[in-house]
């Protein structure tokens, strides 16, 4: 699923590739998806988007915000750029064709938003609003003091996974990037935050900022694809494809467990549960 590293990479690529392009044709919901959300009637997207010019794209958490003339597109799903003459995917929930013959498509896998927002309109999307209101983990404002401020009495009662990846405490940090962050900090996903020593909390902060920055620097995770359909250059340490494989640090077999509505991956030796 799209998380902050991929949103940051895709928004940068959009600024480099799409800025200044004018939309000549737009459609939405051509391939209906149960968990694709739109603003109003998707049948109206053509009327609302055709003639608009792309200006800038920005990442807020796991959302990509694309500014047009009088409207804004807010997406949290895979976006693909298609050069002139390329065959467009039949399964798509968004299509933007540009005056130079290139195109952009959006495809929802598990779930995602494809919002077309008029200037001054509120999206009523809590995750997106929180992402815009909070400092990005990639910004200087996300310093150690800010991170420690997130560790309230209520948060101390949570597990490490719940603290990092729920309630948008850290926008764009989800279950996907969580695994390598906790492995780097040598913290088990189920450990209560109250059990962490001050040194472990500092290690966790450094793991959050260093791993997220590295993922962005390398073009996203190798388990996800960028605007051009290419996998990212960051090699995921813990995930579905590495379950049972030896830990790069100690050689123990990587384990997988169901936890909090998803899966967690960890090294039982490097990340003991205590």
Per-residue pLDDT tens digits for 153-162: 999 999 999 9
Where is the domain boundary, 74, 101, 133? 133
150 band by pLDDT with thresholds 50, 70 and 90: very high
pLDDT, residue 66, reads 98
For residues 203 and 261, membership in a common domain is answered with yes
Do 180 and 222 fall within a single domain? yes
Residue 259: pLDDT band by 50, 70, 90 thresholds?
A: very high
Domain range enclosing 44: 4-133
Q: Are 36 and 112 within one domain?
A: yes
- Does some domain include residue 273? no
Query: pLDDT over 70 for what percent of the chain?
Result: 100
Could you tell me if 159 and 257 lie in one domain? yes
* Residue 272 resides in a domain: no
pLDDT class for 123, splitting at 50, 70, 90? confident
The three-class DSSP label of residue 135 is coil
In a domain, 100, yes or no: yes
Helix (H) or strand (E) holding 12: helix 4-17
Q: Is residue 208 part of a domain?
A: yes
CATH number at residue 233: 1.10.8.50
Q: Which tens digits make up the pLDDT trace of 13-51? A: 999 999 999 999 999 999 999 999 999 999 999 999 999
126 and 148 together in one domain: no
Is there a single domain that holds both residue 129 and residue 148?
Answer: no
> According to the model, what pLDDT value does residue 145 have?
97
pTM: 0.94
Is the same domain home to 236 and 178?
yes
Work out the pLDDT band at 7, boundaries 50, 70, 90. Answer: very high
84 lies in the same domain as 156: no
Q: Which two tokens stand for residue 51?
A: 């003639």
Instruction: Report the CATH number at residue 58.
Output: 3.20.190.10
pLDDT tens profile 199-244: 999 999 999 999 999 999 999 999 999 999 999 999 999 999 999 9
Residues 124, 150: one domain? no
Reported as a single tens digit per residue, the pLDDT across 184-193 is 999 999 999 9
Per-residue confidence (pLDDT) for residue 159, from 0 to 100: 98
How far apart, in whole angstroms, are the C-alpha atoms of residue 216 and residue 214? 5
* Burial class of residue 141 in the structure, from the number of CB atoms within 10 Å of its CB (0-12 exposed, 13-18 middle, 19+ buried): exposed
Residue at which a domain ends, from 84, 105, 133? 133
Residue 139 lies in a domain: no
Do both 110 and 156 map to the same domain? no
Indicate whether 230 belongs to any domain.
yes
Domain assignment present for residue 138? The answer is no
pLDDT for residue 140:
96
User: What total number of domains does the chain contain?
Assistant: 2
Q: In the structure, what pLDDT confidence band is assigned to residue 125 with cuts at 50, 70 and 90?
A: confident
**193 and 258 both lie in a single domain:** yes
Flag whether 274 is in a domain.
Answer: no
Answer yes or no: is pLDDT of 120 > 80: no
Per DSSP (E only), the strands in the chain are: 23-28, 36-37, 56-60, 63-67, 71-75, 78-82, 94-98, 103-107, 112-118, 255-259, 262-266
Which of 91, 110, 133 terminates a domain? The answer is: 133
**pLDDT beyond 90 at 274:** no
Q: What mean pLDDT is predicted for residues 124-151?
A: 94
């Amino acid at each position: 699923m799209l998380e902050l590293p991929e949103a940051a990479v895709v928004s940068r690529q959009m600024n480099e590739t799409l800025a200044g392009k004018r939309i000549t044709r737009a459609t939405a919901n051509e391939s209906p998806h149960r968990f694709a959300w739109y603003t109003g009637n998707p049948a109206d997207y053509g009327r609302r988007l055709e003639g608009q010019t792309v200006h800038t794209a920005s990442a807020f958490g796991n959302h990509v915000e694309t500014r047009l003339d009088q409207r804004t597109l807010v997406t949290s799903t895979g976006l693909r750029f298609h050069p002139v003459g390329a065959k467009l995917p039949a399964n798509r929930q968004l299509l933007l064709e540009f005056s130079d013959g290139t195109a952009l498509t959006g495809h929802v896998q598990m779930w995602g938003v494809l919002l077309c927002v008029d200037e001054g309109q509120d999206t009523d999307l809590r995750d997106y609003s929180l992402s815009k209101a909070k400092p990005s983990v990639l910004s200087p404002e996300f310093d150690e003091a800010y991170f420690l401020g997130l560790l309230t009495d209520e948060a101390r009662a949570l597990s490490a996974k719940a603290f990092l990846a729920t309630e948008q405490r850290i926008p764009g940090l989800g279950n996907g990037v969580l695994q390598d962050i906790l492995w780097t900090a040598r913290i088990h996903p189920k450990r209560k935050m109250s059990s962490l020593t001050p040194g472990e909390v500092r290690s966790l902060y450094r793991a959050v900022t260093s791993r997220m920055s590295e993922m962005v620097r390398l073009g996203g995770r190798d388990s996800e694809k960028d605007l051009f359909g290419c996998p990212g250059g960051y090699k995921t340490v813990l995930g579905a494809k590495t379950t049972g494989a030896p830990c790069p640090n100690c050689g123990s077999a990587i384990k997988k467990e169901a936890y909090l509505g998803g899966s967690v991956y960890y090294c039982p030796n490097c990340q003991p549960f205590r």
